[in-house]
Structure 1
Amino acid sequence: MTGSFESSGLAVGRALYRAEQVRELDRRTIAAGTEGFALMQRAAAAAWRVLRETWPQARSLSVLCGGGNNGGDGHVLAALAAAEGWTVQRVALKPVEKLSGDARRAADMASAAGVGLEPWNEGVPLEGEVVVDALLGTGLAGEVCGAVREAIAAINASARPVLAIDIPSGIHADSGAELGVAVRATRTVTFIGDKLGLYTGRAPALTGEVVLRELGAPEVASDELMPAAELLDSTLIAAALPPRPRDAHKGAAGHALVLGGAPGFGGAALLAAEHAARLGAGKVSLATAPEHVTACLVRRPEIMAHGVRGAADIDGLPSKADVLVVGPGLGQGSWGQAMLQAALDAGRPLVVDADALNLLASRFAGLKRDDWLLTPHPGEAARLLGIGAAEVEADRPAAAAELRRRFGGVVILKGAGSLVAGPSGLAVCPYGNPGMASGGMGDALSGLLGALLAQGLSPETAARVGVMVHALAADEAAAAGGERGLLAGDLASCARILVNPTMGE
């Protein structure tokens, strides 16, 4: 793989690049002897094949072409479709006489092939069975406006399936943010190198299925071009969690302690503890408010529950564990502060979640450690960084990197396309579904992570495996019962199967 990098010596996912890096790959491909217009024709042909495979019954297209090379891809695709007898409506956002370079050649090629051309006007009906979005490419930086904004609105209002060329118009190729408005694609075919912005932030809701067509670039690109991120692959789970030896014992599987569940908030801590047990920690303890102990014993007697009224009751519990999970149901009052202080003083690897993160931002500022794993959602990340949540979502990769720079360790920035920032760089989780937008999902994740750390995985590998197990378990649970009504407790049994990938062999 071009510019690929190792992830803790384990399975490597697909390389993701920033827009400028992909342009560099493009330049190197041309410098190696592939003429620019030939590369455009290659891209359009790849997109045309994807379109035919996806909608084999269709026989008409509406192709909306912008003024750059992305529009040029659209013009060539229109010519290819017409040559095969399709009815093609070609709509230009920029007059042909104002085009230049390869984009002008592409427009002239389509016209020579007999494809009609009409200028964009608001209200132009889109007549094709499939719409092709060739409006904007990866160079977009500012908010979409003017005629392009109108055209995007028309595409979205058409209720027709959409093929996006390289990236849905309106999505930032590096951050995944929606720049004012963006095309809702059914499928996206992207070229040369995969783009980081296709997999996080707003993008996963707008890309549909993403198809990569490299167009021969890897054969000519230099390995010196380091990817901006890695798209995680589920094969890492089996690589990181091989079958246990037949003489394994619980001491070898580690001891995880969950500190959380302030008075009135016991469910979050119990969810974390239960998921830690289901993911294979040899022993799981729970330090929680005394009134929650009975519920824990009834629901999950395998968990060693300890009633803790305050700092004096914590005693030596943290020192007996291999890893601590602090935050679920913690609260930000004196009880939660005492729990967090005990966790910080214990000298054990930490998973820090929920109110523990908020306390880090408000009362424990300035701490930086190599042995902790922080799991903020955008709101918590914003408090840690002292900015607004909208600023975090505007550039999630930058926010994740800045969190790691300030706080050390490994950071999981949760959300659509969860990001893992660690010593090996940035990784993106492509799994998960909207049903995960329900209470307790973050608590389940923190427990999964604690169990993986307890079993000896490095913080970075635990983070990468943990976010995938969490998301894939949610996908399995949603497949069985639907996304609406998906509960955090539904994940535990699915996660257990995922971390035993050789069970049926």
Structure 2
Amino acid sequence: MRFANAETMKKIDEFCIQELKIPSIVLMENAAFKVAKNVDDNVKNILIVCGTGNNGGDGFAAARQLYKKDKNVTVALIGDAEKMSSDCKVNYEIINNMKLNIINISRREDISYFKDMLNKSEIIIDAIFGTGINRNIEGIFSEIISEINNSKKYILSIDVPSGLNSDNGLIMGNAIRANKTVSFEVYKTGFLKYETDAYTGDILVENIGIPEFVLDKFCDDNFILDENIIKKGIVRRNKYSHKGDYGKVIIFAGSVGYSGAAYISTEASVKTGSGLVTLCTNREIQNVLSEKLVEAMTVAYDEEEKINTLIESSSVVAVGPGMGNNEVTLDILKKVICTSKSPIVIDADGINVLKDNISLLSNKVAPVVITPHLGEMARLTNMSIEEIKGNRIEIAKDFARQFDVIVLLKGYNTVITDGKFTAVNSTGNSAMASGGMGDCLTGMIASFIGQNYHPFKAACMAAYIHGYCGETLSKKMFSVTASDIIKEIPYSIKTFIN
């Protein structure tokens, strides 16, 4: 599943119309057919509310499709009929010639009649504004939207709920609160903003006849992770392989009072399938962790010679979980960034000490993956959490490009980007809202990198499987801990291989 902004959708339409010579009205007809298909057969009385642009044209064409199914269809045109787009006008004239019931709402005095139509309908189809809206909705349009929302009727929006900015998910003054949105060809970027589901309802993306190669051409850089991507991505193990084939993972984690973070990240790496895992940790907690980590080795932070050898021979190095925001963590991070020739995963306190030492990233000789949550990203960028929430994808992409790193910005719909390619994770839920989840994810990313997956792909795989484990467990558990996830990891991976 790809996602795209309004400008990209415009380019796709223009290419299909100008280069492939697909008439735009054909695409409109296909869209109308898919909208009509998504109306319950048992519904009889339908009100379709149309604007004067192409979204309105979709609505007029859908009215004809539904009329053919013997539905009682009323169409409300909002605005000046003289301002219709050409395709919108064609479909308007067709239903007008068919003598469908069309009312024109252009003045405040017309709203009482519109309310009467609302009361008589079972379902409302919103076709007022499409993807291109970039100004606040005011006047009669805002009043109509409020009346639709206040009616408490089932609402189906065409492509995008009217008033929702399809690029950033912002509400442009007022917006339809749909029960369902039938969108076309690709997921809209604005749908990925936090809390937009209150406006989109259930989202269904329908194909309207745009060839696959066109979508590849214009929006193959942005995609939503799904099960098929993971199934295709997982490499089956060769029967002759041995532990040396699955990576030497080095994890710097833990301090007094934070042994759990060290244990979780290390054990997650073991359970994800690493060949050899070594935890580098605080000497005061080393013995405790050595007893718990049966399949992993441990060394202390102050064993410099051993650590230098480990870094040199590693397949991947992870730094940060539970280390503390202190000079020891900073010194270790400097050493790793400046000397490791293998990919590096930076999380938690590794990110915290990076905040005032961001120039360290210019010294790297290997790929770097950073895994901030919203608060850590706010500190790295000197932005507020609310600013980042409002534009997570672009902020993550800008940071990735500026510092030549892979960013995994954690949270609902986790964003993974290298600045060019961007993936959004579709798994996970609030049952996983507990401490240690980020530590677990760090260990999983490091493990996949150690198994020779490209760091970007490893981050995507880890994020999806991490969330998938949580979803699977939450079917039987009210809350899911990182320890629960760790136990589930090998079983979930096996389901994708099977």
The TM-score normalised by the length of structure 2 is 0.85
Match status 1:48 vs 2:36: yes
Cα pair 2:230 2:496 within 8 Å, conserved: no
CA distance in 2, matches of 1:172, 1:207: 11
Equivalence for 2:459: 463
Which of 408, 411, 414 pairs up with 2:407?
411
Matched residue of 2:164: which SS?
coil
Instruction: Tell me which structure has the larger Cα radius of gyration.
Output: 2
Matched residue of 2:211: which SS?
helix
Match status 1:231 vs 2:219: no
Q: Percent identity between the aligned chains? A: 28
Equivalence for 1:7: none
Equivalence for 1:29: 16
Taking a change above 3 Å as real, the CA distance of residues 115 and 328 of structure 1, as seen in their structure-2 partners, is farther
Match status 1:393 vs 2:357: no
After superposition, the C-alpha distances for 1:70-115 in whole angstroms (9 at most, x for unaligned) are 1222233234324433334544432435544333443444444422
After superposition, the C-alpha distances for 1:446-503 in whole angstroms (9 at most, x for unaligned) are 1110100111111122122222212222222223335xx2333332233322322466
Matched residue of 2:65: which SS?
helix
Q: Give how far 1:244 is off.
A: 1.6
CA distance in 2, matches of 1:159, 1:312: 69
Match status 1:188 vs 2:187: no
> What amino acid does structure 2 have at the position aligned with 1:352?
I
Matched residue of 1:261: which SS?
coil
CA distance in 1, matches of 2:467, 2:87: 42
Equivalence for 1:352: 346
Which of 191, 206, 219 pairs up with 1:213?
206
> What amino acid does structure 2 have at the position aligned with 1:493?
K
Cα pair 2:311 2:336 within 8 Å, conserved: yes
Q: Give how far 1:254 is off.
A: 1.4
> What amino acid does structure 1 have at the position aligned with 2:486?
A
After superposition, the C-alpha distances for 1:314-368 in whole angstroms (9 at most, x for unaligned) are 6655445321111222321223323323332441321111222232222343523
Matched residue of 1:331: which SS?
coil
Match status 1:69 vs 2:54: yes
Q: Give how far 1:48 is off.
A: 0.7
Match status 1:39 vs 2:27: yes
Map 1:281-320 → 2, pairs under 5 A: 281-293=274-286, 296-297=289-290, 299-308=292-301, 316-320=309-313
Matched residue of 1:412: which SS?
strand
Matched residue of 2:438: which SS?
helix
Q: Gaps (5+ residues) in structure 1? A: 1-13
Matched residue of 2:494: which SS?
coil
Equivalence for 2:332: 339
Cα pair 1:288 1:306 within 8 Å, conserved: yes
Match status 1:135 vs 2:135: no
Matched residue of 1:256: which SS?
strand
CA distance in 2, matches of 1:241, 1:38: 40
Cα pair 2:221 2:420 within 8 Å, conserved: no
Map 1:39-188 → 2, pairs under 5 A: 39-51=27-39, 55-111=40-96, 112-117=98-103, 119=105, 121=111, 124=115, 126-127=118-119, 128-179=121-172, 182-188=175-181
Matched residue of 1:164: which SS?
strand
Cα pair 2:399 2:419 within 8 Å, conserved: no
Which of 487, 494, 501 pairs up with 2:481?
487
Match status 1:324 vs 2:309: no
CA distance in 2, matches of 1:268, 1:182: 43
Cα pair 2:337 2:361 within 8 Å, conserved: no
Matched residue of 1:280: which SS?
coil
CA distance in 1, matches of 2:360, 2:142: 44
Equivalence for 2:258: 265
> What amino acid does structure 1 have at the position aligned with 2:244?
G
CA distance in 2, matches of 1:400, 1:494: 29
CA distance in 1, matches of 2:48, 2:268: 49
Cα pair 2:409 2:415 within 8 Å, conserved: yes
Equivalence for 2:374: 378
The TM-score normalised by the length of structure 1 is 0.84
After superposition, the C-alpha distances for 1:265-315 in whole angstroms (9 at most, x for unaligned) are 232232222211110112222233345445535554323344547989966
Q: Give how far 1:49 is off.
A: 0.8
CA distance in 1, matches of 2:102, 2:210: 33
Q: Gaps (5+ residues) in structure 2? A: none
Taking a change above 3 Å as real, the CA distance of residues 416 and 503 of structure 1, as seen in their structure-2 partners, is closer
Q: Give how far 1:399 is off.
A: 1.4
Q: Give how far 1:121 is off.
A: 3.8
> What amino acid does structure 2 have at the position aligned with 1:421?
T
Matched residue of 2:457: which SS?
helix
More helix as a share of residues:
2
CA distance in 2, matches of 1:503, 1:366: 39
Taking a change above 3 Å as real, the CA distance of residues 503 and 349 of structure 1, as seen in their structure-2 partners, is closer
The structure whose RCO (Cα within 8 Å, separation 6+) is larger is 1
Match status 1:247 vs 2:240: yes
Runs ≥4 residues deviating over 6 A: 309-313
Taking a change above 3 Å as real, the CA distance of residues 242 and 287 of structure 1, as seen in their structure-2 partners, is same
> What amino acid does structure 2 have at the position aligned with 1:325?
A
Equivalence for 1:8: none
Taking a change above 3 Å as real, the CA distance of residues 203 and 310 of structure 1, as seen in their structure-2 partners, is farther
CA distance in 2, matches of 1:245, 1:228: 31
Cα pair 1:269 1:288 within 8 Å, conserved: yes
> What amino acid does structure 2 have at the position aligned with 1:26?
D
Figure out how many residues of one structure are paired with residues of the other and give that number.
486
Q: Give how far 1:47 is off.
A: 0.9
> What amino acid does structure 1 have at the position aligned with 2:91?
A
Matched residue of 2:461: which SS?
helix
Identify the range of structure 1 (286-295 vs 336-345) with the bigger mean alpha-carbon deviation: 286-295
CA distance in 2, matches of 1:467, 1:50: 32
Cα pair 1:237 1:499 within 8 Å, conserved: no
Q: Give how far 1:404 is off.
A: 1.3
Cα pair 2:234 2:497 within 8 Å, conserved: no
